[in-house]
Structure 1
């Protein structure tokens, strides 16, 4: 398993973080259209290649098609913009950011909180077919999705010409999604876990009052106890948890020490009991609040199903 790195971070320190990660042996870089940090990432790739310390085929670069560009005619222009910013000739994996399409209104990335404005008539199947053409043209090696549930994956698999290689979703001990995990494994779809630490940047996990909110995963007593037993950090235990479940994970960091720390997860092994204990923390808590803009009214909202 590779250790993955997500760079959804403020600009300024991105290029340095990518260069540190490359020197540490990271190979898989995940970036989304919405991150708007591709220029710095691309510059880091270019610099390391220019120095002769990196070859393109040693990288696995992932980007995403944002929700505003689901209309088939918008897919390729949005993709090419990302590719240009990354200073690359092709992407290794291109994901549909979610099954929910937004209207493409003068480049507005996030519609206002109005259920009508959030709705798009485009079916994600039609978006997928437009993405398949990118593979045909040699611009993308593999395709995948993000934030798809089982029903949506079943629909896509029933009609697609190119099978989705991956599904990137929120996964951590508070949200283990066992049905989705088993389904993806049964179909040979690689699961990629984002927010493996449960979004520590959101102390109340999207609930300002803190009512009924679990303690942050990195501070959870059970996680800390297991980490102490192995002489590791809570973050390392949470990454290892996914690795042993056969799930790739993309921890986010721009701190050099933590970038290096996140690679030190291959010299210990969680016991079966410890894995079960961590799975037992599941309280079906989703930290990424997709419903903040009223997205739960979208006809393709994926989180009301398995």
Structure 2
């Protein structure tokens, strides 16, 4: 990716770590795509918890570049320039995808973003950009969780944080895969959890004591931790929300951690499930770039039941 072209774009950026007040709207050179890349005119992007962690200077691993940063993983938008050696995307194609930001620090909270063409797929037809932008990172995380477990149809799986963004996608994909799903969520989320074909289990201080059931697998998105291994049958599976939280295997249980990466083919399959109505897309709030600090504050309050979306 190079920067040239003689004109500027607006982007959300921060030059130092701190609270939401460090976010500013700045003018940056418009990036130009290199071979295998395309430039996307951004229609919508999403704020994730990891964006807040990095902005606050609390991300536990080193990043590949130094500030200033433009945050933002997911993108829904329109291809406006195609680099060399890109044969399958064209100018004016509506696309969705995401930047693996922790590896690239290339952020989508900008009017334009340059991404590898292999990270993008056709946007769902007839779906507003703000909704479509909520799918890539969280949808692929949910798909990866279930693919790591590789459960046969009819298996039972417990999902914590079931009403959150990744949780909602996990419930929907588990239903499509023919799994018997139980979702742990707050009392106010019962209707949503059951709408995805899952059994509802109210959140409690001790989920292990709250149920007499055991499961073929657990997907722990609420970061409850390794105590949940007690709910997994011998030889079952366990997925932690991030690598540091993966428990030590015991009783033949296979333990995995999520590390979501772009996957155009799988994302294309998720788009088809959105278009068929099998996956719900949920937007909690939409903010302009100028209100990025308010978006970060809102997400930090927790309890979101949908994506926090930024639009240029």
TM-score by length of 1: 0.30
Higher strand share: 2
Higher helix share: 1
